[in-house]
Amino acid sequence: MQSSCEDFRAWSDSCMLTHLPTYDAQYTWTNGRRGSSCIDMRLDRSIGNDECLAFLQSIAYCTLTKLHFDHHRLLVWFQ
């Protein structure tokens, strides 16, 4: 798993994309198990390019409450 995360980071860096902070939930995915079999991870990311970020006055990402799915939904707010 670490290798794929490093590959993704290298790809986003080569495309000059910026990783934006996402607020609220620390982890955005779970395998739904309990105890030592439980896996929680941050799989969902918010990224943008410099042109888009320069155009916006402000931008924010946050997670919404997880209901029946294994992923949190993301909310983007921009002006």
Spatial contact of 59 and 25, defined as CB atoms under 8 Å apart: no
Q: What is the pLDDT of residue 14?
A: 92
Q: 10 has which bridge partners?
A: none
User: pLDDT of 10-30, one tens digit each?
Assistant: 998 899 888 877 777 777 777
Residues 46-74, mean pLDDT to the nearest whole number: 77
**Tally of helices (H runs) and strands (E runs) in the chain:** 2, 7
Q: What is the pLDDT of residue 69?
A: 65
To the nearest whole number, what is the mean pLDDT of the chain?
79
Range of the domain at 51: 2-78
> Is the confidence at residue 2, as pLDDT, over 80?
no
Spatial contact of 43 and 69, defined as CB atoms under 8 Å apart: no
Q: What's the domain count of the chain?
A: 1
